[in-house]
Amino acid sequence: MSAAGHGAVGRLVEDYLSHLGVERGLAANTLTSYRRDLRRYAAYLDARGIETLGDVTESDVSDFLAALREGDEDHPPLSAPSAARTIVSARGLHRFALREGVVEHDVSAEVKPPTPPRRLPKALAVDQIEALLDAAGSAGTPLAVRDRALLEVLYGTGARISEAVGLDVDDLDLETGEVLLRGKGGKQRVVPVGRYAQEALRAYLDTVRPALTSARTTGGAVFLNSRGGRLSRQSAWAVLAKAADRAGISVDVSPHTLRHSYATHLLDGGADVRVVQELLGHASVTTTQVYTLVTIDKLREVYATAHPRALA
């Protein structure tokens, strides 16, 4: 008996594995995963009395996916990502059989792998944000003023780290409270910047940045390093990491954490998701809607305290 099982299905599995290894050059570990997945699929078809891949129906493939998720006496239930990997292996076998002329139709084509649950973006609480901003830089040093301005801009505008370090002085209009951000694909957007970020920027631009400028300063960059060059993404990340450590924030904090927090706090405050989409520079509102999942805790809290029958 082959590792994939008896009969026509087993032989086809071996042919497919050989194709993956020889013609497509898949690594040994990857082939082992395919072999395990397809051995389970072949055993499932065998238990149903199905002897050839030509006898398989779309319902058989769908039922196999359901069986993966439910588990049985010999197999624990698979998570969505693991079930997706297994069904992708099975679909690959069916596509191979179609290309080789073994079957006339790919009955697996419409059976979609399960979608893994969307991971909710991490967002800090408002008091954590305030502690983070207060902890920016080494207190009393000029660079602390720069670092505070940087973090205020990240949280106050929802800018990506690349957009923040890419800011030029000409992109700031602190009189109207607006900032021009250059996003992905060269797209630009103008976003409002709040009073706290405005004040932090003014303090930095008036008292610290002039001392940092040098012959290396090019393009009028807003955020400069100690040598007068434009602050790099890595250095900006380090500024945030040090502030988080000083503030005693135990969760991992990245520049995207401030962007997530910006979006979540806006939605918690009643902002329309399409407005937040524009502020974040998302091409599609679908990308922004993941943040609405975060606010469900807020909705539950409001419901529990406001609805007369919530606690009945």
Judge whether 122 counts as a catalytic residue: no
Residue in 94, 146, 259, 260 annotated catalytic: 259
Judge whether 256 counts as a catalytic residue: yes
* pTM for the structure as a whole: 0.59
CATH topology of domain 126-304: hpI Integrase; Chain A (1.10.443)
Q: In this predicted model, what pLDDT tens digit does every residue of 174-216 receive, in sequence order?
A: 999 999 999 877 789 999 999 999 999 999 999 999 988 876 6
Q: In this predicted model, what pLDDT tens digit does every residue of 48-85 receive, in sequence order?
A: 999 999 999 999 999 999 999 898 888 899 888 889 99
Residue in 146, 148, 182, 282 annotated catalytic: 282
Judge whether 160 counts as a catalytic residue: yes
Structure tokens at 96: 């191979």
Q: How far apart are CA 188 and CA 222, in angstroms?
A: 17
CB atoms within 10 A of CB 260: 21
Domain ranges for the chain: 7-99, 126-304
Position 114, amino acid: P
| DSSP-assigned letters across all residues of 236-281 | HHHHHHHHHHHTT--S---HHHHHHHHHHHHHHTT--HHHHHHHHT
Q: In this predicted model, what pLDDT tens digit does every residue of 145-181 receive, in sequence order?
A: 999 999 999 999 999 999 999 999 999 999 999 999 9
| Mean pLDDT score, 33-44 | 94
Judge whether 184 counts as a catalytic residue: yes
Higher per-residue pLDDT: 306 or 39: 39
Residue in 35, 160, 182, 209 annotated catalytic: 160
Helix, strand, coil shares of the chain as percentages rounded to 5? 60, 5, 35
The pLDDT assigned to 118 comes to 62
CB 221, CB 231: distance < 8 Å: yes
CATH assignment of 7-99, given 1.25.10, 1.10.287, 1.10.150, 2.40.50?
Answer: 1.10.150
The pLDDT assigned to 114 comes to 80
